[in-house]
Structure 1
Amino acid sequence: MDKEYAQFVRATGFEYTRDLDRVVLALIPKLPANQTVALAEGRFDQQKITGFALLTGKLEHQDGAEVYVLPAATNSGAASFAFLDANRMALTDGPRLAVLPPRASGGLAPDMRERISRVAGSALFAVGKVGPVPENFAPGGLRSEQLTHLMHSVRWFTLAVRPEGDRMRVVLEAECDTPENARQMAGTLDGLRLLGQASLSDPNTRKRLEPEALRLLDSLLRIVEVSRDELRVRLVLELTPEMLGSLPRMIAPKTPVTSPPLR
C-alpha cells in the first residue's frame, strides 16, 4: 500500500475496496484546460475526511458550494473535492471544481440519457460524444483518407464491460451519422482484422514480437466480432482468464537489463 494512502486510511477510516460503491468519470474539454471530474458514491466519514484535507489544504466557496482544495503533491497537481450529500462526493484534478448546474429538464440531456440507459447494467461502462477529428488523423502512423472520412462520421461511442463466468465480455460501439458510413466502417474494421492476421503470419513480424504478445494479439484478432445495426458498428470480445492475465504484463513497462560494472 502506498505510504500516503496508508496515512489517509488511518486518518479517515476510508478504504476504497470496502467503502466505495461506484465511480463515474467525466472529461470536460471546454474549460481553459481539460479537467477530469469524478463522482463517487459510498460510505464517507465527512468530518474525518475534511479534517484530514485541512491539514494541508483549505476550504473555499465556489458557486455556492463548499470545496476543499488540496495543494500540488510531488507526483500530481492540485486537486479539489466537495460533498454532494452524505454518500456522494465530487472530485477533480484541478483547484477549481466544475460544479455543473442541473439542466432545466432535470438531469442529463435526453440523447446522453438514452445511450447511458443501454449500457447502465454493465459492471463498467463509458459513453461519449465524439468531437471533431483532426484532418491529419493517422492512428499508428497509418494515414488514410477513407479512414479519416469514416472517423468524421462517428457521432457517439459506448464501451461496456461485463463479467460472464470466468470470462470478460467487452463491447465497443461506434454510432455513425448515416447507415452507409456505418456499413463502410464495419467493412473497413473487418478488413483491418484480416490484414492484422496476415501480418502476424509474416516471419519478420513474429520475430519482432514477444511470444506472449504474439499469442495475445493472434487470439484477439481471431475472436473479435464485427457487426452492424443501422447506424451502429459493434466490436465484441470475450476475454479468457489467460488473456486477462497476460494484459498487465504487456502493459507494464519493461525494466532495462543493465550489465554489472566491470572491475
Structure 2
Amino acid sequence: MKLNKREWMALAAGLLFGTAAAFYTYQRYSPGGSSERGDLLDLMPADSSAILFADLGELRSAPFLMELYTWAPPPQADEDYTKFLNETGFDYERDLDRLAMAFQKTDQDSTFFAVAEGRFDQQKISALARKSGTTERPGGREIFEVPESGGTKKITFVFLSNDRIALTDRPNLGQILSAKKPSDEIAEWRARFERLAGSPIFAVIRQEAAAGEALSSQAPGGLRSPQLSAMLDQLEWITIVGKPENDGLRVVAEGESTSEETTRRLADLLNGILSLAQAGLNDAKTRQQLNPALREAYLALLKGADVSKLDRGDTKSVRLAFEISRAFLESARRSAAGSGSAVPAKPGDTAHAKKGGHT
C-alpha cells in the first residue's frame, strides 16, 4: 500500500487556510525557552519561505471552531487513510495536538518540512512504514522513507520522541535536523513568532517574487486586484493569524516593508478596496441578487475591518484586522443551503465585527 502525505502528516489535509479558518493560537513563546511551541518552531529550517503553526489541541476546545466544524460538510472517506487509521490507530482529528510546517519555494517546485506532536503508536506506524517503504539508520536513528501516493516524491520521517515526528518530502531529513542555523535568520523568524504569541494558528511568510499574486488569488473575486498583488510583492514579510474570541474568529494580516512609502500606499489601497466593496454591496443590482442576510453579514464584516499602520523600528507595517462572527457563518450557511430554506438560527447570532488591533 502506498502512503500519501495525509497519512504521514495527518493534518496536511486538515490544515486549510485557504482563508477563513486557517491560522491560530499559540500561547506565550519565548526565545530560548522550553515551551513545546517554541521547541517545534526552533526545529524549522531558517531558509524557509513560509512557516505555519497550529495548536490543534487548543483549537478543538474553541467553541466557535467546534461549531464551525459541525457546520462544515463531512470529509469524503479516503480508502488509503482508512487503512492507515485501522493499522496504526492514529486519527489526526483526535490524536494530533500541534503541528509546525515549513515550506521552501524552489524555481519549479515547493517542498515541506514538518514536525507533528500527538499521540502516536510508534510500533504500529513503524511496522506499516517498513512494509511500505525502506529504512536507514544514520547516527543510530531509524529514518523511514515511503512513496507518496499519486506522485514521484517520497515522504521521509523519523520519530524524535514517542510523541513527536519529523517528516519531509525533501531528500535530506537527517541534514535538515542537524543543520546549524544562521543566527541572524533565526532572530528574524523569532521576532515574528513572538509577536504572534497568544494565537493558536498562524503563518509567517518571508517575501519572495509572486507571493503577492499567490495570496491575492485566494481573495474573494470582488477583492482581487492586480494593484494589490503588486503592492504585496513589495513587502519583506507577511504574517496571518487567527484567534477565536467569544463567538467569533479574529483574523489579523500584517505586511512589513523597509519603505514607509510602500506601507502608506498599501494602507490607502486597502482602505479604498474596503470602501469599494461596501459600495458594491449597496448597489441596487447586488441587493436584488444577494441574499439579504448574507449581504448584511458581509457589510458588518467590512464595516468592522480596521486598517492601521505600525512602526516596527527597522520596518514599517500595515495591518488589516477583521472578525468573522457566528452570524456571518450562519448567513453563509443558509445562503449555501438555499435562501428560501427555513433553517433555525443558532442561539446568540448577534455578534458583530468590531474594530481593534492585534497585540
Measured against the shorter chain, the TM-score band is 0.7 to 0.9
CA-to-aligned-CA distance 1:156-178 (integer Å, 9 cap, x gap): 01111111122211111111222
Q: Is 1:111–2:196 an aligned residue pair?
A: no
Partner Cα distance (2:297, 2:121) in 1 = 44
What is the percent sequence identity of the aligned residues?
A: 34
Q: 1:43 aligns with which of 100, 111, 119?
A: 119
Displacement of 1:185 in angstroms is 1.2
Q: What does 1:196-235 correspond to in 2, within 5 Å?
A: 196-207=277-288, 209=290, 214-230=295-311, 231-235=316-320
CA-to-aligned-CA distance 1:80-132 (integer Å, 9 cap, x gap): 3222233221223x373555244356796101111111113211111111112
Find the residue that maps to 1:228 and give its secondary structure.
Answer: strand
Taking CA–CA contacts closer than 8 Å with sequence separation of 6 or more, which of the two structures ends up with the larger relative contact order? 2
Partner Cα distance (1:228, 1:161) in 2 = 19
Task: Report the residue type matching 2:323 in the other structure.
Answer: E
Displacement of 1:136 in angstroms is 8.8
Greater Rg, structure 1 or structure 2? 1
Asked whether the 8 Å contact 1:81–1:97 carries over to 2, the reply is no
Q: Is 1:96–2:171 an aligned residue pair?
A: yes
Q: Which runs of 5+ in 2 are unaligned?
A: 1-76, 338-359
Asked whether the 8 Å contact 1:40–1:88 carries over to 2, the reply is yes
Q: Is 1:238–2:314 an aligned residue pair?
A: no
Q: Which runs of 5+ in 1 are unaligned?
A: 253-263
Asked whether the 8 Å contact 1:59–1:67 carries over to 2, the reply is yes
Partner Cα distance (1:247, 1:176) in 2 = 35
Q: 1:55 aligns with which of 109, 112, 131?
A: 131
Q: TM-score, normalised by structure 1?
A: 0.78
Task: Report the residue type matching 1:220 in the other structure.
Answer: L
Find the residue that maps to 1:36 and give its secondary structure.
Answer: strand
Partner Cα distance (1:15, 1:107) in 2 = 38
Task: Report the residue type matching 1:6 in the other structure.
Answer: T
Asked whether the 8 Å contact 1:69–1:95 carries over to 2, the reply is no
**In the alignment, what sits opposite 2:205?**
128
Asked whether the 8 Å contact 2:96–2:119 carries over to 1, the reply is yes
**RMSD of Structure 2 on Structure 1 (CA):** 3.5
Q: TM-score, normalised by structure 2?
A: 0.59
The structure with more strand, counted as a fraction of residues: 1
Task: Report the residue type matching 1:233 in the other structure.
Answer: V
